[in-house]
């Protein structure tokens, strides 16, 4: 008999507690009535993870995604109660944008930046993890531009800063992903219509998922949102079957005196 972990083309099975396969109860994969797909909005996850876990390298961040997804297969006592269908991660590759800083006019190549290299390495790490499918949208160069930082705008409006004193640090580069929300919606619809799972976990804080969530629930799917302890609009609770965050709560920010 060929062992699953040695099958040609297969990803190595994890041997630690983060294994994508049930451990302890070998009958779970046959007996458990729950088959779960976990969908992760990577941009949302990384933003929340910086606050919860601090700075991480690409490998640590990818493994944290995997671990967080697998935690949703366990009950509150840590017992594996559901089988995993697949972990879908949605993101966009770094934009290959070349331009100039808004004030100094110095050239900048965003595709060769540390941020871009980190994101590419993060994607490569995700591809190597068991049961992970990476879905990539895009960031069109037409959706890239410079924008004043919010605190700078407040300072200008209050008269604490003058327009003539602005430098490059007063601006931030805005990037808008395209096609990511569409891919999330299409996968939710496909999973629901094809009866591939009976539970969907969505790790996101975006309200754009509501139409897809309503569709899944009409098809009998148990739809659970993990907003990683962030606040969502009260009316969104109407369109999900529950909320559950399995990551640590972020530390409260202390007010400066």
pLDDT band at 235 (very low <50, low <70, confident <90, very high): confident
Domain-located, residue 63: yes
**CA dihedral for 73, 74, 79, 82, sign (positive or negative):** negative
Look-up: residue for tokens 């083309």?
9
Domain-located, residue 215: yes
Domain-located, residue 33: yes
Look at 43-47, 107-111, 201-205 and tell me which has the smallest mean pLDDT. 107-111
Residue 98's pLDDT is 84
Which domain, by its residues, includes 68? 25-89+125-136+179-243
Other beta carbons within 10 Å of 184:
23
Share of the chain above pLDDT 70, in %: 85
Domain-located, residue 15: no
Helices (H), 16-113: 28-31, 42-52, 58-71
Q: Supply the CATH number for residue 224's domain.
A: 3.40.50.1010
Whole-angstrom CA distances from 150 to 100, 155, 157, 198 are: 21, 9, 11, 43
Share of the chain above pLDDT 90, in %: 64
Domain-located, residue 14: no
Residue 10 has pLDDT above 70, yes or no: no
180 close to 204: Cβ distance less than 8 angstroms: no
Compute CA 66 distance to the chain's CA centroid, rounded to the nearest angstrom: 11
CA 45 – CA 47 distance, rounded (Å): 5
Q: Looking at the 3D structure of the chain, how many domains does it have?
A: 1
Q: Which residues pair with 99 in a beta bridge?
A: 108
Q: Looking at beta carbons, which pairs linking 98-103 to residues 24 or more positions away fall under 8 Å?
A: 99/144, 101/146, 101/168, 101/171, 102/146, 102/168, 102/171, 103/166, 103/167, 103/168, 103/170, 103/171
Domain-located, residue 7: no
Domain-located, residue 60: yes
Domain-located, residue 146: no
103 close to 168: Cβ distance less than 8 angstroms: yes
70 close to 15: Cβ distance less than 8 angstroms: no
**CA dihedral for 71, 75, 81, 85, sign (positive or negative):** negative
As given in the structure block, the two tokens for residue 157 are 């409006």
As given in the structure block, the two tokens for residue 73 are 């297969």
């Amino acid at each position: 008999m060929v062992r699953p972990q040695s099958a040609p083309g297969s990803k190595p099975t994890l041997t630690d507690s983060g294994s994508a396969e049930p451990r302890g109860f070998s009958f779970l994969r046959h007996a458990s009535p729950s088959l779960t797909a976990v969908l992760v909005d990577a941009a949302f996850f990384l933003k929340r993870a910086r606050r919860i876990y601090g700075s991480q390298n690409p490998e640590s961040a990818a493994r944290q995604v995997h671990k967080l997804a697998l935690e949703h297969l366990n009950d509150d006592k840590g017992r594996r109660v559901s089988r995993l269908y697949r972990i879908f991660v949605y993101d966009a590759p770094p934009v290959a944008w070349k331009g100039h800083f808004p004030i100094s006019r110095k050239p900048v190549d965003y595709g060769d930046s540390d941020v871009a290299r980190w994101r590419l390495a993060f994607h490569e790490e995700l591809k190597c993890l068991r049961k992970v499918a990476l879905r990539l949208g895009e960031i069109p160069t037409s959706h890239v531009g410079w924008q004043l930082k919010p605190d700078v705008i407040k300072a200008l409006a209050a008269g604490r800063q003058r327009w003539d004193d602005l430098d490059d640090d007063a601006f931030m580069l805005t990037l808008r992903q395209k096609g990511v929300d569409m891919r999330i919606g299409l996968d939710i619809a496909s999973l629901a219509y094809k009866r591939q799972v009976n539970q969907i976990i969505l790790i996101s804080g975006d309200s754009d998922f509501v139409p897809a969530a309503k569709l899944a629930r009409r098809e009998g799917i148990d739809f659970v949102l993990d907003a990683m302890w962030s606040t969502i609009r009260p009316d969104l609770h109407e369109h999900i079957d529950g909320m559950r965050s399995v990551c640590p709560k972020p530390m409260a920010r202390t007010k400066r005196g």
